Amino acid sequence: MSGFYDQGALIAVLTTQPLDRTLDYRAPEGGCMEGAFVEVPLGPRKVIGVVWGPGEGGYDLSKVRSVIRVLDVAPMRDEMQQFLRRAADYTLTPLPAMLRLATRSPGLGDPPGMRIVYRLGDSVPDRMTPAREKVLGVLREYGGLAFTLKELAESAGVTSSVVKGLVKQGAVIEQASPRDLPYPRLDPDLPGHDLTPDQAAGAETLRAAVNTARYGTTMLRGVTGSGKTEVYLEAVAACLAKGRQALVMLPEIALTAEFLTRVQARFGALPAEWHSGVTMTERRRCWRMVGEGGAQLVVGARSALFLPFRDLGLIVVDEEHDQSYKQEDGVLYNARDMAVLRASLCSAHVVLASATPSLETWANVQAGKYHRLDLSARFGVAVMPDMRAIDMRAEDLPGSKWISPTLRRAVAARIEKGEQALLFINRRGYAPITLCRACGFQIGCDHCDARMVEHRFQKRLVCHQCGETKPMPEKCPHCEAVDKLSPVGPGVERLAEEAAELFPEARIAVLSSDLYGSARALKAHIESIAAGEADLIIGTQLVAKGHNFPLLTLVGVIDADLGLQGSDLRAAERTFQLMRQVAGRAGRADKPGSAMLQTFQPEHPVIRAILAGDEERFWAAEAGERQAAGVPPYGRMAGIILSSPNVQEVFDVASDMARRDGPLRQINAQIYGPAPAPIARIRGRHRVRMLVKADKAAPLQGALAQWVAQFKLPNSVRLSIDIDPQSFY
């Protein structure tokens, strides 16, 4: 229960400082609410925190200091406090780290009022310099958005005097603007599209679910293009009509642009956005307005789940199977699962939308925990593409080429007819390996146990683990032979090169996430492709995620076997999902599409399941195997990763931990390892992994917490615990 604390009362404040407990203070003059955001003294500093409950006392009370002030933002709601607590318990994360996720808004403590902002003006400056060009470029790129001086100068990489110079010229407008305006009202009563009977039934089910104002989760399944978005927008409409807020999460920033356009068409205005591509000023506005009810709908990335919604009634997780919902550094949480937790605490409905749901979600449907809604057909006349394998063993292809004669003919035929084709390869860069033909040396990262990947467009080698880059060397770093370094294996850039040779007349577009400066540049490129300004698209995973290319009728998958090789427990599931998603790009409009999968193992059960499109069978078979192995979703797992600059030390610590496993044995959990992690070194730190497996019903987190508490780790050793790990690197 929320309480009020009178002036001088002893209160516990949770700060974002890396401490393992709350701190006691005295309530300030005028008192404060539980949940209030406050500024408190900590040593010589002032830090921000939340009034978490009554103080704990039990020490010299004369030393307790007073809260400095209560911030002018909506207090944290009870349900948000509970959510942070439960999420912290689930992910074994200290509460301060959870609070950091929930307070990722710049200037939280700033007073409201006016501020000076900068926008694009009408005049052209008398003299254009590269620095001025950069400033105007940034303003144009972000359309009508306003920037503060600091933000604008930093985004453009210029000094603030450049901006001021442009203001004098009228090319940039300087104006006072109230901070944090509410977002324009979305009107749920505007008409949507006429829905097909199937879609209308689905929309009605979701509307009814939202209108109960009780917690529930629905899996919304339908092939790409079946109208899942149309249907869940009706759930959003119902939610807004009830006066509650809605959150739509998308796995990729690049997808938001298209979605925003659809929201505007449906509700007459743009929603709030929350993701890494949003300016600091807008983030602050979004955070505040969500808390005050000045934002009805937020479209965001996984961290939007931690926004301080006043009355959240619906969470949509689009492409719910997508791996990017799992945060892989810092707090290791899965936004899909946390969405369900959050919704259960605030009586909201969750929609998990996907053409290829995760096995976890499917299993929850089977277990009766989630509802299920299927959209059977694609919208309009489009049908699922015809799928077939190209048996690479029978193709005549030299070693350094990847487009088989069969695929080449199919592409040529499409281009001739004025249709688009897509070649898919799930690898960024030019080539995954750079090998010295003289000594056999492979260029690796200096800080990681990983190969450097050549990115020819950027003329650099890049480590996909740590992001380190270096120029392509002239000679072998090992034997110094000149002109012997050569690329091995294909990446998207190399495939583009091969395609350009095969189809010299074709207009080729390369879509890979690392080739764009900004989400908006990417959006513009995607739109031009959709409008027909390319004949052949060469793309990575980026294209698998929900873009509409109406002219696209052929998808060629260069290496369908790529995902099957890993020892990852989800390898089959991921390959199945990815191949189905990519194939789903073909034939969305009125032209039937086809998908061709190049494979060396056409008889592999996963490849056969993909071709047959028999999802229920695939899921059932996959579920059977996981059940037999006692792995998620039928058993519980936690990854334990220890790292240190010192390899001996990290092994010693890990072995000690594995030996003293009493608390884990108590719940019948098993430890596997320690073993060197598949990537045994990242950023100079040696990595050791252990895997803990337990029964589905076992209280795993409690046992892990007890187990870990036994050890005092040396400062140089870092421990992270990954509940329900998705990746095992």
Compare residues 47 and 195 and give the one whose CB is closer to ligand ADP: 195
CA-to-CA distance for 26 and 12, rounded, in angstroms?
9
Nearer to ligand ADP, 387 or 452 (CB): 387
Nearer to ligand ADP by Cβ, of 294 and 550: the residue is 550
Should residue 313 be labelled a site residue for ligand ADP when binding is judged by CB under 6 A? no
Q: Which amino acid is at 559?
A: D
Q: Contact between 379 and ligand ADP (CB under 6 A)? A: yes
Q: How far is the CB of 255 from ligand ADP (least distance, A)?
A: 11
Shortest Cβ 223–ligand ADP spacing (Å) = 7
Among 175, 400, 486, 548, binds ligand ADP (CB under 6 A): 548
* Per-residue tokens: 163: 């901006």
Sequence-ordered strand ranges (E) for 540-613? 552-557, 594-599
Does 354 engage in binding with ligand ADP (CB under 6 A)? no
Q: Are residues 579 and 558 in contact, defined by beta-carbon separation less than 8 angstroms?
A: no
What is the C-alpha to C-alpha distance for residues 533 and 291, in angstroms, rounded to an integer? 43
Residue 598 interacts with, from Zn ion, ligand ADP, none (CB under 5-8 Å by kind): none
CA distance 220 to 320: 10
Instruction: Return d(Cα 550, Cα 589) in angstroms, integer.
Output: 5
356 belongs to the binding site for ligand ADP (CB under 6 A): no
| Interacting residue with ligand ADP among 81, 105, 155, 226 (CB under 6 A) | 226
Q: Is 468 in the site for Zn ion (CB under 5 A)?
A: yes
Report strand pairing: 386-391 vs 594-599. Answer: parallel
Binding partner selected for residue 556 from ligand ADP, Zn ion, none, CB under the kind-specific 5 to 8 Å limit: none
For residues 452 and 164, what is the distance between their CA atoms, to the nearest angstrom? 43
**How many angstroms separate the CA atoms of 274 and 290, rounded?**
11
Write the DSSP symbol of residue 186.
P
Among 250, 263, 463, 703, binds Zn ion (CB under 5 A): 463
The binder of 708, among ligand ADP, Zn ion, none, by C-beta within 5 to 8 A per type, is none
Which tokens hold the place of 154?
């930093």
Query: From Zn ion, ligand ADP, none, which one binds at residue 448 (CB under 5 to 8 Å depending on kind)?
Result: Zn ion
For ligand ADP, which is the closer residue by CB, 67 or 355? 355
Query: Which is closer to ligand ADP, CB of 229 or CB of 577?
Result: 229
Q: Which residues pair with 685 in a beta bridge?
A: 682
Closest contact distance (angstroms) between CB of 586 and ligand ADP is 13
Q: CB 16: neighbour CB atoms within 10 A?
A: 19
CA distances from 695 to 87, 357, 633, 704 (A): 21, 23, 10, 14
Nearer to Zn ion, 446 or 483 (CB): 446
* 225 touches ligand ADP by CB under 6 A: yes
Site string for Zn ion, 418-457 (x = CB under 5 A): ---------------------------x-xx---------
Q: By C-beta, is 60 or 194 nearer to ligand ADP?
A: 194
- Asked if residue 460 binds Zn ion (CB under 5 A), the reply is no
- Does 402 bind ligand ADP (CB under 6 A)? Our answer is no
Q: Is the peptide bond before 633 cis (omega within 30 degrees of 0)?
A: yes
Name residue 702's amino acid: G
Nearer to ligand ADP, 105 or 229 (CB): 229
Candidates 166-174, 219-227, 555-563, 632-640; binding stretch for ligand ADP (CB under 6 A): 219-227
| Residue 321 beta carbon to ligand ADP: minimum distance, rounded to whole angstroms | 14
Q: From the list Zn ion, ligand ADP, none, pick the one residue 548 interacts with, judged by a Cβ distance below 5 to 8 Å according to partner type.
A: ligand ADP
Lookup result for tokens 């146990």: 449
Strand order in the sheet with 670-682: 670-682, 685-695, 635-644, 718-723
Kindly report the backbone phi and psi dihedral angles of residue 635, in degrees, each rounded to the nearest multiple of 5, phi listed first: -150, 175
3-state secondary structure of 512: coil
Decide if residue 581 touches ligand ADP (CB under 6 A).
Answer: no
Binding of Zn ion by 466 (CB under 5 A): yes
CB of 466 to Zn ion, least distance (A): 3
Q: Which is nearer to Zn ion, 187 or 514 (CB)?
A: 514
Q: What is the distance between the alpha carbons of residues 303 and 325, in angstroms, rounded to a whole number?
A: 9
Which listed residue (173, 195, 524, 647) binds ligand ADP by CB under 6 A? 195
Distance CA 587, CA 593 (A): 4
Which is closer to ligand ADP, CB of 255 or CB of 476?
Answer: 255
**Scanning the structure block, which residue is given the tokens 């944290």?**
76
Q: Which of 91, 217, 224, 726 is the binder for ligand ADP (CB under 6 A)? A: 224
Which residue in the set 49, 222, 313, 491 belongs to the binding site for ligand ADP (CB under 6 A)? 222
Segment contacting ligand ADP by CB under 6 A, of 227-235, 277-285, 321-329, 508-516: 227-235
Tokens, residue 379: 């919208």
Residue 697, burial from CB neighbour count under 10 angstroms (0-12, 13-18, 19+): exposed
Under rule CB under 6 A, residue 196 binds ligand ADP: yes
- Cβ 534 vs Cβ 509: under 8 Å: yes
Angle between helices 605-612 and 615-629 (to 10 degrees): 150
Residue 88 and residue 16 in contact, taking contact as beta carbons nearer than 8 Å? no
Residues that bind Zn ion (CB under 5 A): 445, 447-448, 463, 465-466, 468
Residues that bind ligand ADP (CB under 6 A): 193-196, 199, 222, 224-230, 379, 548
